Chain A
Amino acid sequence: MVKMERGRVWDYFLGPLAYVVLSVAIYMVFVVAPEEKMMGVVQKIFYFHVSAAWVAFLAFFVVFVGSIMFLIKRDYFWDGISLASAEIGVVFTTIVITTGPIWAKTVWNAWWTWDPKLTTAIIMWFIYLAYVVLRLAAGEEEKTARFAAIFGIIGFLDVPLVFAAGRWWQKTFHPIVFNNPSGGLDPAMKPAFFISLFAFTILYIYLLVKSTRINLMQRELNRLKDMVKEKIYG
């Protein structure tokens, strides 16, 4: 209950903050950042495409940590965080795998190729979609949470593969942004890029706090419903 109340305070603070930093990020991307010479205006997809990918990685890492913590402590707070983070991760991975092909079609004239980066990314999306669907399935609460935690730990094995796919398998046409030996991002684009990353991170934290609080409220509701059932039917 204390955790729920604390969550409400953060909710009021993080919501407006996310709104402000996202507005600044949009301004930086469309007004301040220069247009890329080869790709033109469509390159501006990059800023939020990569930020969404970062949030997805972060979200699945939180699922991984939350799952381990749940198995150790058996505290449903961690289960609530894991479920919330998996949902957010799926939403942001959906953004990544829909905006990527739009960008690719205009620049490389191909919607999709089964190269290692894209293939591991779509597998990651399916893994966490399955995780969220699993949680919707009715069943004994403790058992479902335990099974989901194991799923959340094993499923995370794919996440480093997605990140490293471009470096490990050279065949990918997907550009490498961080530590690219052949250059990387134009310095004039960096402020817009890092503000976008920051804005999406704040948005992620806001959604995580809100969604976790809802999951804890749902658990409280289920507990009260069981109490009522017990009172009525003995």
Chain B
Amino acid sequence: MSKLTALALAYFIIWTLIFLYTVVLGQRQKQIKRELELIKEALNKRS
């Protein structure tokens, strides 16, 4: 493995992991928001 390939690989890993974690957080947040709104709506309708 050349030095330049190693550098590119390392930086690819760094940014991929950070990007993936940010995407996971965003999806988790979206899912929770959707469920929260549905439950609040259902609770409001019942009361």
Chain A residues at the B interface, C-beta cutoff of 8 Å: 39-42, 44-45, 48-49, 52, 87-88, 91, 94-95, 98-99, 102-103, 105-106, 203, 207, 210-211, 213-214, 217-218, 220-221, 224-225, 227-228, 231
CB under 8 Å from chain A, chain B span 11-35: 11, 13-14, 17-18, 21-22, 25, 28-29, 32-33, 35
Instruction: Tell me if B33 and A99 are in contact (CB < 8 A).
Output: no
Instruction: Give the complex CA separation of A231 and B32 in angstroms.
Output: 21
The 8 closest A-B pairs by CB, nearest first: A42-B3, A99-B10, A45-B10, A106-B6, A224-B39, A217-B32, A102-B10, A91-B21
CB-CB < 8 A to B2: which residues of A?
Answer: 106
Given contacts A91-B17, A95-B13, contact A214 B3 (CB under 8 A): no
A116 to B7, CA, bound (A): 25
In the complex, which residues of chain A have a beta carbon less than 8 angstroms from the beta carbon of B6? 42, 45, 102-103, 105-106
Q: Which residues of B contact A49 (CB under 8 A)?
A: 10
Give the shortest distance, in Å, between A121 (CB) and chain B (any CB): 16
- In the bound complex, residues from chain A placing their C-beta under 8 Å from that of B11 are 45, 48
